[in-house]
Every structure is written in C-alpha cells, then in structure tokens.
Amino acid sequence: MTTLLTVAGFLLGALVVLAAILVLFSAWTARKVQSVLPPKGRFVDVPGARLHIREFGEARAGEPAILMIHGLAGQLSHYTYGVVGRLAAHHRIVVVDRPGSGYSTRAPDTSADLSAQAASMAALIRTLGPGQAFVVGHSLGGAVALTLALEHPRQVAGLALLAPLTHMRDDVPPVFKGLAIESPFVRKLVAWTLAIPASVKNSAATLEAVFGPEAVPRDFATKGGGLLSLRPSAFLSASADMQALPAHLPLVQARYEELRLPVHVLYGKDDRILDWKANGQALVDKVPGAKLELVEGGHMLPVTQAALSARFIEEALSAAGAGVQ
C-alpha cells in the first residue's frame, strides 16, 4: 500500500510539474507572439466588448464605409494581407477584430452568440459616423454580417460575403474539432496547457486543411497574422464562438427570406471547410435578388485571391448603389 501511495504521489507531482511547464510555455508563447505582432490600430469601446480596429482611405461623397468582419479563429490581418490595399485608394475601409479575437476583448458576462456579435458591430458602425456601412464577411464573419443585416437593418447598406457560413451543419469540420469543448472549465484548462503546444505541432496540417487546395503563403504567419492564434485567449474565443453557433445560427437562417438588401456571395468550388452548395447556393435561394459567384479556389479567398476578392467587393458595392465609378 505504501508503495502504491508513493507511486501515486510521484505521478501526481509529475503531472503538476508538467502542467506548470505547459502553462509557462503557453504564457511565454503568447507574450512572444504579441511582441512580434502588436496591435496596429485603435480601440473602440462598445457594449460588451472593446474592439480593435484599423481604418484606411476615405469614402467618396455619399458612399458608406466598408466594414470587414473576419472568420472563426481569425483576425483582421486576413483582410489587410491583400484586400484592403487594393480598395483603400478609393474607399473608406474599417477592419475589425471580432469580440475576443485578435486584440479585441469580450466582457466576461457577454455571450459569444451571433446576436451579441452583431450588436457590437452595429454599435461600431454608429461610432464611425452617420449612415450605414457596406459589410464584408468571411466564413463565420459572414454569419455575423447576415445577423447584423437582419437585426440591425438600418446600419447595413449591403453585403459582400466571402465563403460565408450561412447554415448549421450536423458535424464539426475535422480541423476545428479541438475547439468543441463544452465545459468552460475544461476549455480554460486546455487553453493554458495543451492547446498551444498542439497548435504548434499541428500547424502545417491545420493550415493545409484551411487553405487547401491552394497553397499557404509563406508570410501568412506574420503578414496574415497567423501567429496570433498561438495564444490561450485566441483558443478560448474561437471555442466560445463555435459553441454558441448551434443555438443561434438556425434562428438566423430561418429569417433569410426577410432580407431586403443587396447580397453578393463569393465561393471557392473546392472549399474544404464549407460546402458552397450548402452555404452559398442555399443562401441565395432564400434571399430575393441575391447573387452567387463561383471561382476556382478554397476557403481562404481574402488571402489566397486578394485581387479577385477586392474586385468582388467593389462590384458588390457598386451594385448596392454606392456610386462607385
């Protein structure tokens, strides 16, 4: 019995030491990433969140600002990588880290559901000046943009959606299964111990799955902000975002027929994360006047096909009657 207790004590001690090492590694990695990729924008306080935004260009007379919302586990650099630079000479662009993502924070008592995120975007639009915004949404950002248009229609002039999530699927994409932790306690424990080492180990396979069949740009880790995912806060936010979807996305998708604004959708035929038929075609079938454009490519169109994405956004803005020449 004494031997068994000794062994058990040794194993418990070893686990405690290992956990401490993992916590220290995660904290060190997060500090290192933030020193390499510090925030470059300004912060705007809205109910339930402190949003990190970057602003570029100036709007033409009578033209709304373009607000760009990124997807799950992403941040605003997905747009500044190549899309923003192609549009900022002629338009006012605002890119935002969603609540909890990038350098934006979410208040502890604020939900990660689509309605709460849409409300924060609506509040941001109101702080940007009078009038509406033309909203661009990628992946999960597309679901947020659609919720924003449904629940705050006076704030939205039109939508340009890039590979948007629009309908709830029965399963979780394999690359995101690590985020499917329902218990907040276990989620936090994993975030500060296993999540960062596992992300480092699996980064190549994860990026290949998200970007495929297109190649991952060599500078995505820095220019595209990929390194910012190697922080416990990023894991916690992405997990909360995904956990909140089943209770809210079905409510949103049931209302698509109510939309009465220009909606344009761009999808890669070979998207490995979201199926274009189940999300792109299914959306335009429900929204009066909505249009779908299919291209050769995968899920990360704002990064892999920045010129095409910028052209799509500009054409959608023009079609919305924004007065683009």
Our measurement of the distance from residue 42's CA atom to the centroid of its chain's CA atoms, rounded to an integer in Å, reads 19
pLDDT of residue 5: 53
Domain coordinates of the chain in residue numbers? 39-169+245-319
The top-level CATH class assigned to 39-169+245-319 is: alpha beta
Q: Where are the alpha helices (DSSP H) in 167-211?
A: 184-192, 195-211
160: how many CB neighbours lie within 10 A of its CB? Answer: 28
What is the structure's pLDDT at 170?
86
Own/partner long-range contacts of 144-149 (Cβ < 8 Å, ≥24 apart): 144/69, 144/98, 144/114, 144/117, 144/118, 145/69, 145/121, 146/252, 146/256, 146/259, 146/283, 147/114, 147/115, 147/117, 147/118, 147/248, 147/252, 148/118, 148/121, 148/122, 149/259, 149/261, 149/263
What pLDDT sits at residue 119?
A: 98
Tell me 278's DSSP state: I
Q: What is the pLDDT of residue 60?
A: 75
Measured distance CA(33)–CA(217) in Å, rounded: 19
Q: Contact at 8 Å (CB) between 152 and 118?
A: yes
What is the pLDDT at residue 3?
Answer: 66
What are the tens digits of pLDDT across the range 98-151?
A: 999 999 999 999 999 999 999 999 999 999 887 899 999 999 999 999 999 999
Q: What angle do CA 283, 287, 289 make, to 5 degrees?
A: 120
User: Which pLDDT does position 15 carry in this prediction?
Assistant: 66
Mean pLDDT computed over 52-59: 92
Overall average pLDDT of the 177-198 stretch? 89
pLDDT score of 215: 97
Min mean pLDDT across 194-208, 214-228, 291-305 is at: 194-208
Round the average pLDDT of the chain to a whole number and report it: 92
Closest CA to 139 of 308, 265, 317, 325: 265
| More confident position, 181 or 208 | 208
Kindly give the interhelix angle for 184-192 and 2-36, rounded to the nearest 10 degrees. 70
- Cα torsion 119, 124, 128, 132 to 10°: value is -30
**pLDDT band at residue 325 using 50, 70 and 90 as cut-offs:** very low
Backbone φ and ψ for 106, nearest 5 degrees, come out as -115, 135
Residue 261: predicted pLDDT: 96
pLDDT-derived band of residue 324, with 50, 70 and 90 as boundaries?
very low
pTM assigned to the model: 0.93
User: Which tens digit of pLDDT belongs to each residue from 192-206?
Assistant: 998 999 999 999 999
Q: At what angle do helices 2-36 and 195-211 cross, to 10 degrees?
A: 50
More confident residue, 58 or 273: 273
Q: Long-range pairs for 322-325 at CB < 8 Å and ≥24 separation?
A: 322/62, 322/63, 322/64, 322/134, 322/157, 322/158, 323/60, 323/61, 323/62, 323/63, 324/60, 324/63, 324/90, 324/91
Higher pLDDT, 71 or 12: 71
pLDDT at 321: 74
d(CA 279, CA 270): 13
Residue 323 has pLDDT above 60, yes or no: no
Residues constituting the chain: 325
How far apart, in whole angstroms, are the C-alpha atoms of residue 37 and residue 55?
17
Could you report the per-residue pLDDT of 240-295, keeping only the tens digit for each? Answer: 999 999 999 999 999 999 999 999 999 999 999 999 999 999 999 999 999 999 99
213 burial level (CB within 10 Å; 0-12, 13-18, 19+) = middle
Residue 33 has pLDDT above 70, yes or no: yes
Higher pLDDT, 78 or 13: 78
